[in-house]
């Protein structure tokens, strides 16, 4: 980009001014009564809410005396502060709302509720985090990754879609196979090892458009947290990480509407009270309208293709009292992708979550939730005499009871239980729309139930030391009705080595497994701005994504553990050094991790995975290891904010057996599909108080492994390539530069913004993959080609408005 | 086996998803430096129910991008399940044929190859399928879009070959493959000479669209016939100046051979999508009898085949054939004629041996 262009961009960035808080103008609020007993410390509690909607603010920070005493609000907006009686200046912050400044005089224990106003933040006060600015130093847990929604919304986007999943991939230790791949990998873990929770309910496919867009509507989201290192004991079921995404409650005070119109999709949100201050409703929806873009393409197959998706959220919240509330949230999404008359993919998510929260007393708050979900996928051949549709459906139920107990400011205890039932429907192949030559086929799938008990405590031992430790016990059973094949011992499992079968009646246990999952993390503060953290986690996973492709497809199968597919077990070790600089304006960290993984599902060559009632004959069980280091620096305050991250990591697998047929790469360690040793990301953002922003992103990583052709031969005129051992070579390295420019207040009567974004500004033809094709002429051996799917600059335009 | 239907669909998905992704993408050649791993023995071939289709190719894999080097001087024996053995003879370097032999459906066959250094390789026995069904061939001539090896698009005249097959007599567990070969003749320029000798014509046989692997698994389909299935297309060039045959083969395979071809089909259809089935080496059915760990590439199959031929004469094509003929024009300078006209054996796969049906 030439100098003139840069000048143009900077000229568009609005001017910035600074402000100062006048403390003397703020009246003092007295809390408590004069006490006869001279307590050294008293407890202040309260709730932090939005002023208009009365919606609780999760994760808002409240600090007294310049962070000498601080805490942050829980999922119901509640906080607790322990401090000596006296006069304090209180600051309450959360991104996207105006900070609250208060003066209080504390005499004894009491309640102090806070209401904050939504609004644009003066840049002078802008700190791009809602959590306490030194929480990265003080938290005991290692490997927590958090970004603010405001930050994500200012990042450059692909096709104008603000995307949580793409955004977290700019953080250290998080990556994906490549552009357009669904899912993400955390510290060498597989895609299926990430538990994605939407309002606490697991979701099985978090992507639209084959992975180019995430399945979450930005307007509905409230906050999210990625646990990539230590995971609290109340969360589990997957071996690598947990991504918790929470959506907003509806506005309890007044009706509000907002919308966004983009080139490829648009969205709408309405929220407001059904009964003022008691019951609120939030309805959000997003729908694609990208087919008009496809119609512009000359290729007739592309012109006749269709790409459609929608997602919808409905949140109904009711407050029975100050201490009791109920939320019913419903989420559904649908994707349909058809390429001409050649094939189509369809996939749906349905999720219903009923959650009851209460505050039994100031110290105990139980939360009970019941979840019902379904993930459907279809692979369709729409034409010809053999037109067919392959369907898979996974139903699941989950019940969870969590009790939060805060005996004092030093302890935060969480205990409870969780039960999940995985009830997949039979896999079916049927003729597509009428009579075709296809024979109906059905294969029953395994059912499983999982139950867990957990107890976790965040313990503030002293100013210097804190511990986050817990224990989870999980138990699993593969249950009937089912018929299990038994194989001859000592030989590879094939159809020909099936010895007999065992039948299990309804709910009869065919296989059980279970074990303890200790979680431990400790923080030692070297100084007020430096700390060292260590962590160890064991995670067990009883459901597996059966996916023999480089990246998961929407029609991959979810398979519960059984006699031949034991649970995945991961032991995660981490060690980190955290250092804040310049009055907490800069956050830095260096973390090392090692992950040992048992019972990873691998695949024989050319496996048959669909409609296979003895799928274990196509699978292998191996082990894995991942290790690496992450370096992170983040600027929280100033004209420019942003972060840079560098990750070095290696992920390797080993599948070893006494039989060659069940061994990969001679039993040696080999790199995983997504092993990318070096990853670097730089994100910078410059905001303005008028809602404008300029941001850019630089992303670099080394190429992922692939299997290359080493020689060839001919059979009957057909050239047969001879491939190397699995994943022995690497595709070229990847580099991308994106920019985004947001113009605030486009129309003065509306609270609106216009987002202009260019993905891959320099049009670099990054390798999506390397593969082999044989030239048109006979007898020529296959040649290697680099495929770039987003090899051009991709501009997008989105107009957002509220009323 | 119904799963194969789904696999076919998965391959189809992989094949088509890339054009969609290529909306904004591009495909560029790239050089991948690989380890030098050549030297493996390659043995591939078949015994057929058709007496001119018994062929075995033997070679050694090259260490670079080239095709295998032919390996001459091997002794190639075919054993049937009744204690008889038959010998293939080397017709061209590395190519061994068993003439005038028709395999018998229902009989198991295996191959033994003894190299000049005494190393012995044997294939697993394959029982020739009992039934194959019938096949009819048809063709269509059309002007179609074409992208040459340099990526240049144009429109060319093509002849496309289709087949229709009757499968009603096939047993439930039947596996088929269809392929099409062309055979054409080149009559060299007959320069006038004192002796009045006429140079012999060459016969060229090639597989059409060899990477198009058309397979069928009877266990997944209720259909009893296939109508007008596309097998391949051939650009119309000088080879159509004279009689030109297309031979469509309907080949009944064993279940193992079907698996082998299914895997080749997957590899032939890799399109670079991250939804592709990861490629891997394909294991054959031939082993070194003294060293089972030695890698032997290739497959020996026992196939029951049926063939249907159509002959195309220039007058049937209804398109202009504006190619230089080999007729003597009065000019004795060979360089004024295409190479094929003064030395037709230079054309790949050409031979003076006239097929009996030509």
Name the residue ranges covered by the structural domains of chain B: 3-16+39-351
SS3 content of chain A, % helix, strand, coil (to 5): 5, 55, 35
What sign does the dihedral A754-A165-A245-A147 (CA atoms) show?
A: negative
d(CA B101, CA B83): 16
Reply yes or no on whether the pLDDT at B19 is more than 50: no
A250 three-class SS: coil
Look at residue B242 in the predicted model and tell me its pLDDT: 93
- Could you tell me which residues come within 8 angstroms of residue A251 by beta carbon, excluding any fewer than 6 positions away? A52, A53, A55, A271, A272, A273, A280, A282
Distance CA(A339)–CA(A329), nearest Å, equals 34
What are the residue ranges spanned by the domains of chain A?
Answer: 3-119, 245-802
To 5 degrees, how large is the angle CA A596–CA A598–CA A602?
115
Closest CA to A66 of A101, A34, A95, A17: A101
Return the bridge partners of A28, or none: A103
A382 touching B (Cβ < 8 Å) = no
Residues of B in contact with A336 (CB under 8 A): none
State both tokens at B271: 């399109």
Report residue B336 as tokens: 């004024």
User: Can you name the CATH fold of A3-119?
Assistant: Immunoglobulin-like (2.60.40)
CB B229 within 8 A of CB B221: no
Ranges of residues in chain A whose predicted pLDDT is under 70: 1-22, 35-39, 52-54, 66-67, 75-76, 95-96, 119-133, 297-301, 362, 385, 435, 689-690, 774-781
Closest residue in A to B46 (Cα) is A716
Is the pLDDT reported for residue B310 higher than 60? yes
Segment A660-680, tens digit of pLDDT:
889 999 999 999 999 999 999
pLDDT of residue A11: 30
For residue range B79-103, list pLDDT tens digits in order.
998 899 999 999 989 999 999 999 9
pLDDT at residue B309, as a whole number: 96
Q: Which residue of A has its CA nearest to B224?
A: A437
More confident residue, B306 or A637: B306
Q: In chain A, positions 725-754, which contact chain B (CB-CB < 8 Å)? A: 726, 728-729, 732
> Is it true that domain A245-802 has CATH number 3.40.50.80?
no
Q: Do A549 and B278 touch (CB under 8 A)?
A: yes
CB contact (8 A) between residue B10 and residue A610: yes
Residue A39: C-alpha distances to residues A35, A86, A456 (Å): 8, 11, 30
Of B106, B117, B86, B71, nearest to B304 by C-alpha is B106
> How many other CB atoms are found less than 10 A from the CB of residue A279?
15
Predicted local distance difference test score (pLDDT) of residue A10:
29
Residue A349, φ and ψ in degrees, nearest 5: -120, 135
Please state the rounded mean pLDDT for residues B58-73: 83
pLDDT value, residue A323? 80
CB pairs A-B closer than 8 Å? 255
Q: What is the CA radius of gyration of chain A?
A: 27
Per-residue model confidence as pLDDT tens digits over A95-153? 667 788 898 888 888 888 888 887 544 433 344 444 556 778 878 777 787 777 777 77
| HEC readout, A694-753 | EEEEEEEECCCEECCEEEEEEECCEEEEEECCCCCEECCCEEEEEEEEEEECCCCCCEEE
Return d(Cα A282, Cα A734) in angstroms, integer. 41
Query: What is the pLDDT at residue A109?
Result: 81
- Which pLDDT value is given to residue A127? 43
Whether A770 sits inside 8 A of B10 (CB atoms) is no
What pLDDT is recorded for position A264? 82
CA proximity to A129, closest of A787, A642, A517: A642
Residue A571: name the closest of A518, A521, A515 by CA: A518
- CA A407/CA B284 separation, integer angstroms: 69
- Contact between B279 and A721 using a beta-carbon 8 Å cutoff: yes
**pLDDT tens sequence across A684-717:** 988 776 678 889 999 999 999 999 888 888 887 7
A336 forms beta bridges with A308, A346
Interchain contact, B222 vs A439, CB within 8 Å: yes
Q: Can the peptide bond before residue A481 be classed as cis, meaning omega within 30 degrees of 0?
A: yes
Strands (E), B148-299: 153-166, 175-186, 202-207, 214-217, 225-235, 244-253, 286-288, 296-297
- Quick one: pLDDT at residue A335? 93
Please check whether residue A796 is in contact with residue A159, taking contact to mean a CB–CB distance below 8 angstroms.
Answer: yes
More confident residue, A437 or B165: B165
Strands of B94-186 (E only): list them.
Answer: 95-97, 108-114, 120-123, 126-127, 134-147, 153-166, 175-186
Q: Which residues of B305-321 are buried (b: 16+ CB within 10 A; e: fewer)?
A: bbbbebebeeeebeeee
Sign of torsion over alpha carbons A730, A732, A733, A737: negative
Please name the residues between 385 and 414 in chain A that touch chain B, using a CB distance below 8 Å: 385-386, 388, 390
**Which residues 202-231 in chain A show a CB within 8 A of chain B?**
none
Nearest to A549 by CA among A175, A196, A215, A181: A181
If you ran DSSP here, which 8-state letter would residue A301 be given?
H
**Residue A255: how many CB atoms within 10 A of its CB?**
12
Q: What ipTM score was computed for the predicted complex, to two decimals?
A: 0.84
Cα–Cα distance, B247 to B48 (Å, whole number): 15
**The total number of residues written for chain B in this structure:** 358
Q: Could you report the per-residue pLDDT of B212-221, keeping only the tens digit for each?
A: 889 988 877 7
**Dihedral of alpha carbons B331, B333, B334, B335, sign:** negative
- Does the CB of A336 have a partner CB in chain B at under 8 Å? no
Task: Give me the pLDDT at residue A122, please.
Answer: 40
Instruction: Determine contact, residues A328/A351, Cβ cutoff 8 Å.
Output: no
* C-alpha torsion sign, points A186, A192, A193, A195: positive
Q: How far apart are the C-alpha atoms of A573 and A596, rounded to whole Å?
A: 9
Tell me if B215 sits within 8 A of B269, measured CB to CB. no
CA end-to-end span of chain A: 37
Chain B within 8 Å of A341 (Cβ-Cβ)? no
A791 contacts chain B (CB < 8 A): yes
β-bridge pairing A427-431 and A783-788: unpaired
Dihedral, A191, A197, A202, A204 alpha carbons, nearest 10 = -40
Q: Among A178, A388, A713, select the one facing B44 at the smallest CB separation.
A: A713
Q: In this complex, is the C-beta atom of A712 within 8 Å of any C-beta atom belonging to chain B? A: yes
B279 interaction partners in chain A (CB closer than 8 Å): 707, 709, 721, 723, 772
């Amino acid at each position: 980009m030439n100098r003139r262009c840069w000048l143009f961009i900077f000229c568009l960035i609005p001017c910035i001014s600074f402000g100062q808080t006048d403390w003397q103008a703020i009246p003092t609020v007295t809390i408590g009564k004069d006490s006869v007993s001279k307590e050294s410390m008293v407890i202040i509690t309260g709730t932090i809410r939005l002023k208009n909607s009365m919606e609780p603010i999760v994760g808002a920070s409240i600090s007294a005396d310049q962070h000498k005493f601080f805490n942050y609000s829980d999922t119901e907006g509640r906080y607790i502060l322990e401090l000596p009686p006296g006069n304090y200046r209180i600051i309450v912050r959360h991104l996207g709302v105006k900070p609250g400044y208060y003066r209080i005089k504390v005499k004894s224990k009491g309640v102090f509720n806070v209401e904050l106003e939504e609004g644009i933040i003066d840049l002078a006060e802008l700190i791009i985090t809602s959590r306490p600015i030194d929480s990265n130093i003080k938290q005991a847990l290692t490997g927590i990754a958090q970004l603010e929604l405001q930050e994500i919304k200012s990042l450059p986007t692909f096709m104008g879609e603000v995307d949580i999943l793409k955004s977290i991939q700019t953080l250290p230790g998080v990556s994906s196979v490549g552009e357009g791949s669904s899912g993400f990998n955390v510290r060498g873990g597989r895609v299926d090892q990430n538990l994605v929770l939407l309002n606490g309910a697991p979701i099985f496919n978090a992507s639209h458009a084959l992975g180019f867009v995430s399945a979450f509507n930005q307007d509905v989201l409230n906050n999210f947290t990625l646990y990539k290192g230590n995971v609290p004991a109340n969360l589990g079921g997957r071996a690598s990480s947990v991504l918790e995404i929470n959506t907003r409650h509806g506005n309890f005070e007044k009706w509000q509407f907002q919308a966004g119109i983009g080139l490829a999709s648009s969205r709408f949100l309405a929220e407001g009270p059904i009964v003022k201050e008691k019951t609120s409703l939030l309805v959000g929806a997003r729908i694609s309208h990208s087919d008009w873009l496809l119609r512009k393409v000359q290729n007739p197959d592309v012109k006749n293709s269709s790409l459609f998706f929608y997602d919808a959220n409905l949140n109904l919240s009711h407050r029975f009292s100050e201490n009791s509330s109920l939320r019913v949230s419903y989420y559904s999404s649908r994707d349909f992708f058809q390429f001409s008359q050649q094939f189509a993919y369809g996939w749906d998510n349905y999720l219903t979550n009923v959650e009851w929260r209460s505050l039994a007393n100031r110290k105990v708050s139980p939360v009970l939730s019941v979840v019902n979900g379904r993930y459907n996928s279809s692979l369709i051949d729409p034409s010809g005499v053999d037109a067919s549709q392959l369907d898979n459906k996974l139903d699941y139920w989950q019940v969870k009871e969590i009790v939060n107990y805060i005996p004092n400011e030093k302890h935060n205890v969480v205990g409870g239980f969780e039960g999940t039932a995985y009830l997949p429907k039979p896999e079916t192949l049927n003729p597509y729309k009428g009579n075709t030559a296809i024979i109906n086929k059905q294969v029953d799938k395994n059912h499983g139930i999982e139950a867990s008990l957990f107890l976790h405590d965040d313990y503030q031992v002293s100013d210097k030391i804190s511990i986050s430790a817990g224990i989870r016990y999980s138990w699993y059973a593969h249950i009937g009705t089912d018929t299990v094949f038994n194989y001859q011992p000592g030989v590879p499992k094939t159809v020909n080595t099936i010895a007999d079968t065992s039948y299990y009646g309804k709910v009869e246990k065919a296989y059980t497994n279970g074990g303890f999952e200790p979680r431990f993390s400790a923080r030692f503060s070297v100084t007020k701005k430096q700390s060292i953290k260590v962590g160890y986690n064991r995670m067990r996973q009883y459901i597996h994504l059966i996916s023999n492709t480089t990246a998961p497809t929407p029609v991959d199968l979810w398979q519960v553990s059984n006699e031949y597919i034991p649970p995945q077990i991961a032991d995660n070790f981490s060690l980190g050094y955290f250092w804040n600089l310049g009055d907490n304006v800069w956050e830095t960290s260096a973390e090392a991790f090692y992950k040992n993984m048992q019972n990873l599902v691998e695949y024989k060559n050319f496996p048959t995975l669909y409609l296979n009632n003895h799928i274990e004959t196509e699978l292998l069980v191996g082990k894995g290891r991942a290790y690496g280091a992450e370096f992170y620096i983040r600027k929280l305050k100033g004209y420019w904010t942003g972060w840079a991250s560098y990750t070095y990591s290696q992920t390797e697998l080993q599948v070893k057996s006494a039989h060659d047929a069940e061994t990969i790469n001679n039993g040696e360690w080999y790199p995983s599909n997504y092993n990318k040793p070096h990853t670097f990301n730089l994100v910078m953002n410059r905001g303005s108080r008028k809602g404008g922003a300029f941001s850019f992103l630089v992303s670099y990583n080394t190429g992922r492994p692939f299997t290359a052709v080493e020689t060839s031969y001919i059979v009957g005129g057909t050239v047969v390539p001879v491939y190397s051992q699995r994943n022995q070579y690497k595709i070229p390295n990847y580099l991308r530069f994106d920019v985004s420019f947001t113009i605030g207040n486009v129309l003065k009567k509306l609270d609106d913004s216009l987002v202009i974004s260019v993905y891959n500004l320099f049009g670099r033809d990054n390798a999506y993959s390397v593969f082999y094709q044989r030239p048109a002429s006979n007898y020529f051996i296959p040649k290697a080609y680099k495929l770039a799917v987003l090899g051009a600059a991709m501009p997008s335009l989105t107009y957002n408005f509220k009323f | 086996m119904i799963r194969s239907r789904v696999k076919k669909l998965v391959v189809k998905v992989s094949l088509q998803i890339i054009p969609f992704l290529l909306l904004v993408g591009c495909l560029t050649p790239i050089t991948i430096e690989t380890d030098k791993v050549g030297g493996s023995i390659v043995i591939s071939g078949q015994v057929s129910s058709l007496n001119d289709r018994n062929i075995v190719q033997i070679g050694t894999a090259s260490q670079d991008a080239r095709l295998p080097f032919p390996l001459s001087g091997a002794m190639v024996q075919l054993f049937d399940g009744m204690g008889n053995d038959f010998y293939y003879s080397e017709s061209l370097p590395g190519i061994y044929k068993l003439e005038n032999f028709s395999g018998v459906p229902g009989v198991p066959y295996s191959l033994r190859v003894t190299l000049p250094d005494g190393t012995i390789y044997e294939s697993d026995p394959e029982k020739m399928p009992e039934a194959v069904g019938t096949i009819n061939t048809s063709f269509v001539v059309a002007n179609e879009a074409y992208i040459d090896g340099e990526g240049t698009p144009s429109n060319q005249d093509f002849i496309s070959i289709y087949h229709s097959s009757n499968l009603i007599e096939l047993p439930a567990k039947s596996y088929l493959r269809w392929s099409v070969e062309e055979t054409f003749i080149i009559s060299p320029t007959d320069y006038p000479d004192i002796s009045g000798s006429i140079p012999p014509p060459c016969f060229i046989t090639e597989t059409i669209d060899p990477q198009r692997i058309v397979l069928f698994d009877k266990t997944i389909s209720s259909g009893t016939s296939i109508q007008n299935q596309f097998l391949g297309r051939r650009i119309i060039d000088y080879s159509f100046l004279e009689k030109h045959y297309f031979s469509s083969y309907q080949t009944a395979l064993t279940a193992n051979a079907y698996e082998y071809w299914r895997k080749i089909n997957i590899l032939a259809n890799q399109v670079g999508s991250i939804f592709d089935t990861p490629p891997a080496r394909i294991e054959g059915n031939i082993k070194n009898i003294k060293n089972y760990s030695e890698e032997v590439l290739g497959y020996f199959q026992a196939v029951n085949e049926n063939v249907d031929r159509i002959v195309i004469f220039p007058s049937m094509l209804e398109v202009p054939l504006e190619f230089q003929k080999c007729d003597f024009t009065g000019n004795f300078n060979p360089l004024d004629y295409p190479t094929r006209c003064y030395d037709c054996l230079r054309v790949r796969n050409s031979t003076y041996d006239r097929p009996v049906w030509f």
